[in-house]
Amino acid sequence: MPFPPLESLTLAQQVAQMVVVRASGFLFDHQIQYPIWEPPSATLRHWLEDVEVGGVILLGASAGEVALRTQQLQEWAKTPLLICADVEEGVGQRFSGATWFPPPMALAAIAQHDLAAACRYAEQMGAITAQESLAIGLNWVLAPIVDVNNNPDNPVINVRAFGETTSIVSALATAFIRGAQAHTVLTTAKHFPGHGDTTIDSHLELPVVAHDRARLDQIELPPFRAAIAAGVDAVMSAHLLIPALDEQYPATLSPKVLEQELRQRLGFEGLIVTDALVMGAIANQYGTEESAVLAIEAGADILLMPLDPEQAIASVCAAVEAGRIDPARIQAAVARIWRAKQKVCAPQLKSETPHAWEKIQPSSPDFSISLEQPDAIATHTAILRQSLQLHRPTPASLDEPTQAGRNLIVVDNILDCDFLGRTAPAIVLPAQFGFTHTQIVDRHTPPISFDPKTPDETPTLLQLFIRGNPFRGSAGLTQTACDWFEFLLHSKQLRGLAIYGSPYVLQQFITALPQNVPYVFSYGQMQTAQAIGLQALFLNSAP
């Protein structure tokens, strides 16, 4: 599978290299979870073999399956692929069996009292994420997020950010990049020019950021400058309308934002990649064809997840042939893609070696690298422990003996709870302390009714798994969680509270919590986070 010389590619082949398509990490069609976005194998193989798209973004499956999947994809492709994933919290966030770190905001909590330690953890997190990516055949890490999450109601960034202040976000994001650079993967700063102060989810509709240039220069842009100075390989655009920069087009489709601000003003020379073009903020108004053309006119090098890749390619080719897009714009983009592919597919060759690297086979999964190694587990555990918040008064309501207590777990959607199961600490540990009746509810559960005249007198541990998640349009807190909290509070059944995910949810609850009711908060939702949090809550063990 040699790299063809750039000058030998047709226009359609050049444009195809600028497209990254979405695919399931699972090997078989019947396992596809998102059929609207993830094509069956025959279609995917056609896109790689015949259309010759330049890359694939994967979601779903175990790390072992993905290692086989990436081999398959590279074998289908005529030119080595960029294969990426949104692994902001480690490879295990998306692919089971690998290391799943707490959200980046956990590091911001540590940074508030020990910035040096937080930076060490961020660097280790970057290195481990890069290493485990290579182990399963990924060569492009779509991280770190460098948005400054200064809006607690942000539904799409939230705990995915490295913090709420420019200085901490810059320090931790550059440390992550530094760690990843020890390995041959691409890194990505996102979402330019800053998605941290929004209350609308761009997966659903277009947010508007009303800040003036002075504010952008002070808060939103410095982390991107820092990431660029640190040598980040790619910058992902945000689907935002920022009138101070462009009153007409969202950032992803704006030459004023991508070309003038990012390329010229900030001096970025790497890859500019759009956020997913299937997201409502772009797709609802511009559609597949026009969004592809506008994004490339604006300065994007890579079109991420157009709904119909072949249609997007055809529309861009037509725009070039009609004189709307300069062929040099396409050639410059593909040249940057070629340099990126050389870095991750032929790192042993010098960049000035003329065409020699074009004969190199693409890198394969490195099966010599094991996942969740002791150093990864130690880093993951240390971040969880040092970012934990615990309130354990003496005496505490949990000190009272409990028999046949209720373990009430509130989640967003029961069907999506990979972190729960029969042996999950959130279920097993409370039973050891008398909370033996487990009840799991979500936002689809019928609402409760509370009659203060005949209150239930069941001692209850309330566990809330709440964090902002894309496509939901809220920062995490559900009416179901609020109703149960108030019900248990007013009926005096609440013995303890555990919150996993969003610190903003914690702040909304603790002001109403009686002093004698203990609580624990963890940024993580995975089973390690459950175990650490509940042991602290029940045993009063210091983090």
Pairwise CA distance, residues 331 & 337, whole Å:
10
- 203 classed as catalytic: yes
Residue located via tokens 């020990």: 114
How open is the CA angle 349-355-357, to the nearest 5 degrees?
Answer: 35
Residue written as tokens 């709420």?
164
Alpha helices in 47-104 (DSSP H): 63-76
Long-range contacts of the stretch 342-348 (C-beta < 8 A, 24+):
342/3, 343/184, 343/186, 343/233, 344/82, 344/139, 344/140, 344/184, 344/185, 344/186, 345/3, 345/80, 345/139, 347/184
Strand bridging mode 140-141 / 519-522:
unpaired
| Residues in CB range of 359: below 8 A, 6 or more apart | 2, 3
DSSP letter for 444, please: T
Strand partners, 190: 145, 236
Distance from C-alpha of 354 to C-alpha of 351, rounded to nearest angstrom: 8
Helix 63-76 vs helix 115-135: angle between axes, to the nearest 10 degrees? 60
Q: Which residue has the tokens 């390329």?
A: 263
Identity at 8, one-letter amino acid code: S
Whole-number Cα distances in Å, 44 to 69, 289, 312: 12, 20, 15
CA distances from 485 to 14, 420, 433, 472 (A): 56, 21, 21, 21
Q: Is position 183 annotated as part of the catalytic site?
A: no
User: Is 390 exposed, middle or buried (CB count within 10 Å of its CB: 0-12, 13-18, 19+)?
Assistant: middle
Q: Which of 183, 191, 195, 203 is catalytic?
A: 203
Q: Is beta strand 519-522 parallel, antiparallel or unpaired with respect to 389-391?
A: antiparallel
Q: Which one from 201, 233, 275, 412 is the annotated catalytic residue?
A: 275
Active-site residue set: 203, 275
